[in-house]
Each structure stands twice: as structure tokens, then as C-alpha cells.
């Protein structure tokens, strides 16, 4: 259901760090939004060293864009962003000043997974039972 895209420059994160981040993001999302981590998608997008700029100059941040279904309490979405930012810093060793997490949302009815329109928050169990 959710999609988290982490954008970095090439070689910022090795395979072990990516696996640890993907697992921790899945755990965080699952615990806050009450869906199995098997539904949490984490994608790593690596750009060349000159592919990310901050303040007009080359930079090496970790940028996290997360998409979740509308309807979750705002406090939970803020907690997702905060806990994911802390996990990125803890797991990667990248300074918190270089980590940006942005959570986006749209109606569940605007997304399809496995050929089915996603359920509204709170309706996951019934949706998964029809799988």
C-alpha cells in the first residue's frame, strides 16, 4: 500500500544499509498504520554525484518521499515522518540536517494494488480477507 522512495547519490548507501532501512521503514509504518509490513514498498533511487543540489551546490542528502492513504490521523502521519527521519539518521549515520522526509497522501480510491482499489484506512482487514 504505502510507497517510500529514498533518493540519494550513488554509493551513499550500501546493500546492507538499504536492507536495514527497508526493514525499519516497514516496521515503523506497520506499527503506526496497522498494516502488515508485506504491503510496505521501499524504493531506492540513486542519482549521480552531481544529481542533487542544495543551495545551488552539489549535496548528498537522504530524501524520503512517502505516500500513504488519506484518512489516517495527522498525528500518526507526523509520527511516521519523525520516526522514519530518526531511523534514517540512526541506520545510515547521515547527519539529521541532511535528512528530509516528506509524507504525501491521496484518497485510497486513487490507488490500485494487485488489481484492486485500495481500502480506506481502517478497512484493511476486510480488504486483505478478500485477497
Burial class (CB in 10 A: 0-12, 13-18, 19+), 80: buried
Q: Closest Cα to residue 89, out of 21, 7, 3?
A: 21
Q: Closest Cα to residue 41, out of 5, 81, 94?
A: 5
Instruction: Tell me what pLDDT residue 45 has.
Output: 97
What are the mean pLDDT values of the chain's consecutive 10-residue runs (131 residues total)? 94 96 97 90 96 93 95 94 98 96 93 88 83 66
Q: What is the domain partition of the chain in residue ranges?
A: 3-129
Strands (E), 28-84: 41-47, 53-54, 57-58, 62-69
Check whether domain 3-129 has CATH 3.30.429.10, yes or no: yes
Amino acid at each position: 500500500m504505502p510507497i517510500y522512495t529514498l533518493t540519494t547519490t550513488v554509493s551513499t548507501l550500501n546493500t546492507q544499509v538499504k536492507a536495514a532501512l527497508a526493514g525499519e521503514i516497514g516496521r515503523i509504518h506497520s506499527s503506526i498504520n496497522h498494516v502488515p509490513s508485506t504491503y510496505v514498498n521501499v524504493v531506492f533511487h540513486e542519482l549521480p554525484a552531481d544529481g542533487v543540489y542544495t543551495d545551488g551546490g552539489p549535496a548528498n542528502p537522504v530524501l524520503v518521499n512517502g505516500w500513504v492513504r488519506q484518512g489516517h490521523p495527522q498525528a500518526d502521519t507526523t509520527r511516521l515522518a519523525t520516526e522514519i527521519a530518526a531511523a534514517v539518521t540512526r541506520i545510515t549515520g547521515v547527519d539529521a540536517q541532511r535528512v528530509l522526509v516528506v509524507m504525501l497522501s491521496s484518497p485510497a480510491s486513487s490507488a490500485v494494488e494487485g488489481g484492486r482499489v485500495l481500502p480506506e484506512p481502517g478497512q484493511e482487514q476486510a480488504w486483505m480477507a478478500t485477497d
